[in-house]
Amino acid sequence: MTNTKQNNNNSEKERLDFIRQIVAEDLKTNKWDGRVVTRFPPEPNGYLHIGHAKSICLNFGIAAEFAGQCHLRFDDTNPTKEEQEYIDSIIEDVHWLGWDWEGHLYYGSDYFEQMYEYAVQLIKKGKAYVCDLTAEQTREYRGTLTKPGKDSPYRNRSVEENLNLFERMKAGEFPDGSRTLRAKIDMSAPNLNMRDPVMYRILHAAHPRTSDKWCIYPMYDWAHGLEDSIERITHSICTLEFENHRPLYDWFLEKLDAYHPQQIEFARLNLTYTVMSKRKLLKLVQEGHVAGWADPRMPTICGLRRRGYSPQAIREFCRRIGVNKFNSTVDIALLEHCLREDLNKTSPRVMAVLKPLKVVIDNYPEGQVEELEAINNPEDPNAGVRKVPFSGELYIERDDFMEEPPKKFYRLAPGREVRLRYAYFVTCTDVIKDENGEVVELHCTYDPATRGGDAPDGRKVKSTLHWVSAGHALEAQVRLYDHLFTKENPDDAVEGEDFKSNLNPNSLEILASCRVEPSLAGAAPGSRYQFERLGYFCVDPDSSDSKLVFNRTVSLRDPWAKIQKAQKKK
């Protein structure tokens, strides 16, 4: 092998994360006959969140990069918590992220019959038994990390008796919780998962897909490996907490002499200021702390979508964080940085005023309206220009004026000249206040020679403000969002309280009477814009022709870029 080739191989190895390295190596050695088959196996008991996106991008990404396939499989083995609503949303969200399972959509429940057959095989091999211990007794017999377990008194039932009882369990002869089918492994195994784990429980509950056909349901560890095996998955990728379930995964498939995928674990995504457990997210929804799963403050895919996130931003974030074996928490600033990078390239610029302050241009010809040219996106040469109406009555941002400006405030103040973007230089000549002393209107003069925003005499101004024409602007409601929690780690609560005590009471601020430029008339829900100088905003589904509603997706200030700059300097 030549040196260059070696170098190439090395750099390829460096580029690949440890899972992709395994897949590449397996292809080289032809371990799976050249196949790469992964799966994303959500339990349909909630909506997908940004953590799931990491797993989705990993599984579908590997399939795409190695010319394999990725299955979308619903791990629907627990009928009491699963719903069609969740199934539909998961399908929508995976598609929205830009992935496709190419017809490989499966349900664990489709394999119930096969799983049952496999269980019968294990019984016949003397590797499984029907146990009559109650749930509480089973727990007691199990022992602890420091104390070995005790054999169940039912452990040595004959194969015939086990077959008979198991069949009757299936036939519905016994009440819920009265019996289980357990694997016969080792009650003193150091790994608690190997202490005769339960494979089936009795549960007289209708299943969304199999209805009343079954009253015994497989446990996760039993079902999951079989699902992988039946679908002939090659690489079964899961999160770290399943590392010590792997011996059991392997044990079942070995004892059955079944097709046996390789389970590989990676670290789950944790994000600052965010909870990711479906149980906790469900609580937030049920207790009304948020307006449903798709609330723009939620870390769910549908929440992020409504907030204005693009699939590209989420995918880029997943690429940047990579995969590894160590649990850590990612700074949410990185997610927002990826979002800004994408939106900066793709969002048309418009002018909008969130907290309007009226400005009257005293020397502007009465009744005149000009159409001034504005650049749609300086980052995109193909985005072109548009016309924005300018008139003698405008709105500017209330925060862009101060009657008594401190030293570093360069925006508008009495007697001061500033630029109105794409328009003219204006100078503030008068301040009108109401009876409470609050500023309600400014009077200015404009310099007609500065049309377009430059002075022919070369004079400079220190700031440029955005604005809208009062008579042309559209009213809009704007919803400003902040992190849902006040603490980096929401689970870090004072004693006696839980994560909900760290909810941010100011995570939503609604501005009811904003003004946006008229080009936004009829903007479709989901469309994204940069409001100049303010941030990125997305049209909410609540928006209509009569009432525009925007969500602030993210502000312009990018703390992550700052952190990176500082690191480069070091």
Residue numbers at the binding site for ligand ATP (CB under 6 A): 41-43, 51-52, 54-55, 238-239, 268-269, 276-278
**Active-site residue, from 43, 83, 243, 341:** 43
Q: Nearest distance from residue 238's CB to ligand ATP, in Å? A: 5
Is residue 278 flagged as an active site residue? yes
Q: What is the C-alpha separation between 202 and 45, in angstroms, rounded?
A: 20
Q: Between the CA of residue 210 and those of 103, 117, 149, 201, what are the distances in Å?
A: 21, 17, 36, 16
Buried b (16+ CB within 10 A) or exposed e, 390-414: bbbebbbbeebbeeeeeeeeebbbe
Q: Between the CA of residue 365 and those of 343, 393, 445, 448, 452, what are the distances in Å?
A: 38, 11, 11, 11, 17
Element (H, E) at 439: strand 439-446
- Name the 3-class secondary structure at 163: helix
Angle between helices 220-230 and 246-256 (to 10 degrees): 60
Residue closer to ligand ATP (CB basis): 323 or 520:
323
Residue 353's beta-bridge partner residues? 515
Q: Nearest distance from residue 277's CB to ligand ATP, in Å? A: 4
Q: What is the DSSP letter of 474?
A: E
Q: Nearest distance from residue 43's CB to ligand ATP, in Å? A: 4
**Active-site residue, from 20, 278, 349, 528:** 278
> What type of residue is 527?
S
Per DSSP, the residues of 237-262 read: EEEGGGGGGHHHHHHHHHHHT---PE
Q: Nearest distance from residue 44's CB to ligand ATP, in Å? A: 8
**Active-site residue, from 81, 127, 209, 268:** 268
Residue closer to ligand ATP (CB basis): 222 or 395:
222
Residue closer to ligand ATP (CB basis): 149 or 311:
311
CB neighbours of residue 96 within 10 Å: 16
Q: Output phi, psi for 469, to 5 deg.
A: -80, 125
Q: Nearest distance from residue 42's CB to ligand ATP, in Å? A: 4
Residue 553 tokens, joined: 């997706």
Residue closer to ligand ATP (CB basis): 268 or 487:
268
Residue bearing tokens 């039993």:
222
Return the residue nearest ligand ATP (CB atom): 51
* Helix extents (H) in 322-435: 332-346
Alpha carbon 206 to chain centroid distance? 31
Alpha carbon 167 to chain centroid distance? 43
Q: What is the C-alpha separation between 202 and 221, in angstroms, rounded?
A: 16
Q: What is the C-alpha separation between 290 and 479, in angstroms, rounded?
A: 14
Q: Nearest distance from residue 332's CB to ligand ATP, in Å? A: 13
Alpha carbon distance, N-terminus to C-terminus of the chain: 39
Closest by Cα among 65, 18, 30, 75 to 234:
30
Q: Nearest distance from residue 59's CB to ligand ATP, in Å? A: 8
Residue closer to ligand ATP (CB basis): 73 or 255:
73
Query: Contact 12/65 with Cβ under 8 angstroms?
Result: no
Residue closer to ligand ATP (CB basis): 52 or 416:
52
Residue closer to ligand ATP (CB basis): 41 or 225:
41
Residue closer to ligand ATP (CB basis): 82 or 532:
82
Residue closer to ligand ATP (CB basis): 17 or 43:
43
Q: Nearest distance from residue 52's CB to ligand ATP, in Å? A: 5
Q: What is the DSSP letter of 88?
A: H
Q: Nearest distance from residue 301's CB to ligand ATP, in Å? A: 12
Q: Which residues are catalytic?
A: 43, 268, 278
